Structure 1
Amino acid sequence: MENSDHYFYVLTCADDSLYGGYTNNLERRIRMHNEGKGAKYTRGRGPVKLTYYKGYENKSDALRAEYHFKSLPRKKKLEFLLSETGDEDVAAEKL
């Protein structure tokens, strides 16, 4: 993982929905999501898997990335993930 203090991340839930979030401890946060102690949205949608993350030097930039992602319609979220990861398995079959 990157040497940063603030992360924007995207999870893929078991129902193929996407969840974008912010954290300052990525490993702990993903563990919390999978234990059902994360965001209300991910409870009951586990297990989740980390699809994408990016580290930022400050909290406001990471939160801005999260807000932008959450404002996108699903198709644009998938296009974003495909462009950022280059992994067609992440998004292509769902477009």
Structure 2
Amino acid sequence: ALVSFKRACELQPTDVRPHFRGGNCLYVLGKFQESKDEFLLAMEAAESGGSQWSYLLPQIYVNLGISLEGQGMVLSACEYYREAAILCPTH
């Protein structure tokens, strides 16, 4: 799956979904730094994509926080959890 997501990122670098899904795959594989990098790319794409991807931003922030926790960066993770809560208090 990861190979497919990486290829999709190459073909459509501004599409949020392959970065988001690739980040999820990398996290499961224990590659927290790479996972964080993919979630950051997903976040940038979502923020520049206008309202089309706004529904996905809270989950991107949460997953980014989880990746940071995996690296032992709990305080940084909390910042992203806070952003997710601001965007979607029921998330």
Question: What TM-score results when the alignment is normalised by the length of structure 2?
Answer: 0.27
Bigger proportion of residues as strand: 1
Bigger proportion of residues as helix: 2
Question: What TM-score results when the alignment is normalised by the length of structure 1?
Answer: 0.26
